[in-house]
Homo-oligomer: A and B are copies of this chain.
Amino acid sequence: MEAFRVLPGVGPKTAQRMAMHLLERDRPGGQKLASTIQQAIDEVGYCRRCRTLTEADICALCESPRRHDQLLCVVESPADQLAIEEAGGFQGRYFVLHGHLSPLDGIGPDAIGLDVLEARVAEGQISEVVLATNPTVEGEATAHYIAALLAEHGVTLSRLAYGVPMGGELEYVDGGTLSRAFNGRQPFSSE
């Protein structure tokens, strides 16, 4: 029971239910869970090129000959990378920071791999870096830091558009977002 509590969102009651369930009703399932976790921990590491999670030395996405080398998307986490991949449309490569700058917690540029990122950009193949860090204060600060770092390398820098999310109601959109959506308004035609 104690061990299950390392999982996010699992408190004492849930941990107890999980443990009891495996012991009383599904011992083979428990066996499989244990060995899969062990295997994942042994085998999943970080891609040497983009730092995402992978079982290989270089991940499939970095290896793929069908992705564009000129476009690099910088994200905070493998989950963000997955969200962008699922949304579709992006054809470039990724770079995963595993966090954002947070000097108070001792997380500096090297801890989020900015040295690796700079070396990657210095190779000269990349023409545009999309800074897709989270639209939070920390993500924004990290984007600014990276922009300053890469400024001398002559790449185009861009950031995801801020605006109203699709399917929402204006009435419930926060003021800051609404005012950015207003300032960033786009030409519109009936076609």
In angstroms, Cα B171 to Cα A77, docked, is 9
The minimal Cβ–Cβ distance linking A52 to chain B, given in whole angstroms, is 14
A170 touches B131 (CB 8 A): no
A143 touches B87 (CB 8 A): no
Q: Which residues of B contact A158 (CB under 8 A)?
A: 185-188
Q: Which residues of B contact A166 (CB under 8 A)?
A: 135-136, 162, 174, 176-177, 180
Q: Indicate whether A4 reaches chain B with its CB closer than 8 angstroms.
A: no
A159 touches B173 (CB 8 A): no
B178 touches A87 (CB 8 A): yes
Interface size on A, residues (CB 8 A): 60
The minimal Cβ–Cβ distance linking A172 to chain B, given in whole angstroms, is 8
Q: Which residues of B contact A175 (CB under 8 A)?
A: 83, 86-88
Q: Which residues of B contact A162 (CB under 8 A)?
A: 161, 163-166, 181
Q: Indicate whether A148 reaches chain B with its CB closer than 8 angstroms.
A: yes
Q: Which residues of B contact A172 (CB under 8 A)?
A: 83
Q: Indicate whether A11 reaches chain B with its CB closer than 8 angstroms.
A: no
Q: Indicate whether A50 reaches chain B with its CB closer than 8 angstroms.
A: no
